[in-house]
């Protein structure tokens, strides 16, 4: 197709306009980004300050860098008798198990419902959608009573089982993913005599790896930062998120704000590093399709 001069001029006009719009948006983005970054810069600097000089002027630049805050915090950040080191450990166990249960459970559910035909398949799909879009707010007291009765409280392993629902948002992400990948390799493997487990494990899962990584990372962020569950059920096994909440009260009383901010930094850094490392995988593979059924 040959473009007329007029069309070309029109196109050029639009592209200049595009550029102006993009630069205006850039400026707005910069302002928003500043409001996100500034608190962190401030927190980082504050975490290195001396308690008394912070008290005099919370906004000032540190006059000397108190790296010792990051050592002292290991002695002073204690919640319900548990120190920072142990809280870190609890957070890692809780996150690893919660992520594992959630990812495995939603993977198998999404795979079976997405790739097999069987009785009850539609029922299971409807349940998955229903439980996701109708969160029952009033179930909290009953859940609490149940978990107290069966002695789940303060048990990291058992409490992380709460994350093992196969029918949440992760199900939706993975269901869409499994639907979209072809069954032809699996068919070929079946013809070659591979069983269902083998096909699942060696043919389908490798293809799903990027999506699984994305889901696992997003889940792990949620579990690591979860404070509502630890608040209720892990009082004597505090994770970092919950510990930080409790520590704030102590820190406020003793005016140890720099230590509090050091704690914030310690709880934040691991996730930030993981996210930046896996950014591309996450953004390319986190696809939520429509809700049907």
R_g of the chain, CA atoms, integer Å? 25
151 sits near other proteins (criterion: CB under 8 A): no
Which of 131, 159, 130, 133 has its CA nearest to residue 232?
159
Query: Which residue stretch of 30-38, 62-70, 71-79, 201-209 sits at the interface with other proteins (rule: CB under 8 A)?
Result: 30-38
Tokens 């142990």 belong to: 86
123 sits near other proteins (criterion: CB under 8 A): no
127 sits near other proteins (criterion: CB under 8 A): yes
Span 246-285, contacts to other proteins by CB under 8 A = 248, 260, 264, 267-268, 271-272, 275-276, 279, 282-285
Close Cβ partners of 261 (under 8 Å, ≥ 6 residues apart): 43, 44, 46, 47
Q: Which of 104, 158, 189, 213 binds other proteins (CB under 8 A)?
A: 104
- CA distance linking residue 158 with residue 150, whole number of Å: 10
Quick note: the x/- pattern for other proteins over 202-221, rule CB under 8 A, is ----------------x--x
Query: Which residue stretch of 68-76, 78-86, 201-209, 223-231 sits at the interface with other proteins (rule: CB under 8 A)?
Result: 223-231
Which of 139, 106, 85 has its CA nearest to residue 219?
106
Report CA 89 to chain centroid distance, whole Å: 18
Q: Which two tokens stand for residue 195?
A: 């069983």
Question: Which DSSP string do the residues of 92-156 spell out, in sequence order?
Answer: HHHHHHHHHHHHHHHHHHHHHHHH---TTHHHHHHHHHHHHH---GGGHHHHHHHHHHTT-TT-H
53 sits near other proteins (criterion: CB under 8 A): no
Q: Which of 138, 191, 192, 193 binds other proteins (CB under 8 A)?
A: 138
- CA distance linking residue 160 with residue 152, whole number of Å: 10
157 sits near other proteins (criterion: CB under 8 A): no
Query: Which residue stretch of 62-70, 92-100, 167-175, 202-210 sits at the interface with other proteins (rule: CB under 8 A)?
Result: 167-175
44 sits near other proteins (criterion: CB under 8 A): no
Q: Which of 82, 224, 234, 258 binds other proteins (CB under 8 A)?
A: 224
Q: Which of 2, 16, 31, 36 binds other proteins (CB under 8 A)?
A: 36
197 sits near other proteins (criterion: CB under 8 A): yes
- If phi > 0 it is left, if psi is from -120 to 50 it is alpha, else beta; for residue 255 that is left
- CA distance linking residue 169 with residue 162, whole number of Å: 15
Query: Which residue stretch of 64-72, 76-84, 159-167, 201-209 sits at the interface with other proteins (rule: CB under 8 A)?
Result: 159-167
166 sits near other proteins (criterion: CB under 8 A): yes
Query: Which residue stretch of 71-79, 82-90, 161-169, 181-189 sits at the interface with other proteins (rule: CB under 8 A)?
Result: 161-169
């Amino acid at each position: 197709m040959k473009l007329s001069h007029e069309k070309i001029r029109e196109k050029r006009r639009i592209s200049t306009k595009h550029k102006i719009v993009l630069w205006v948006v850039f400026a707005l983005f910069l302002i928003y980004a500043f409001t996100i970054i500034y608190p962190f810069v401030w927190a980082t600097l504050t975490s290195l300050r001396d308690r008394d000089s912070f008290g005099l002027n919370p906004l000032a630049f540190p006059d000397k860098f108190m790296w010792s805050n990051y050592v002292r915090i290991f002695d002073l950040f204690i919640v319900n008798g548990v120190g920072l080191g142990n809280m870190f450990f609890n957070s890692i166990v809780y996150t690893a198990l919660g992520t594992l249960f959630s990812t495995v459970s939603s993977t198998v559910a999404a795979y079976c419902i997405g790739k097999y035909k069987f009785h009850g398949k539609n029922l299971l799909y409807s349940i998955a959608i229903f439980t996701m879009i109708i969160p029952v707010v009033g179930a909290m007291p009953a859940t609490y009573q149940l978990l107290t009765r069966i002695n789940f409280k303060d048990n990291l392993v058992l409490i992380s089982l709460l994350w093992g629902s196969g029918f949440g948002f992760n199900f939706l992400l993975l269901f869409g993913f499994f639907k979209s990948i072809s069954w032809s390799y699996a068919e070929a493997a079946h013809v070659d005599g591979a069983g269902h487990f083998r096909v699942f494990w060696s043919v389908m899962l490798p293809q799903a790896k990027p999506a699984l990584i994305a889901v696992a990372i997003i889940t792990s962020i949620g579990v690591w930062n979860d404070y509502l569950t630890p608040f209720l059920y892990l009082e004597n096994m505090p994770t970092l998120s919950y510990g930080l909440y409790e520590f704030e009260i102590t820190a406020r009383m003793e005016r140890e704000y720099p230590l509090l901010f050091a704690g914030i930094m310690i709880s934040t850094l691991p996730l930030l590093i993981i996210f930046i490392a896996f950014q591309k995988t996450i953004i390319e593979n986190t696809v939520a399709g429509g809700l049907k059924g």
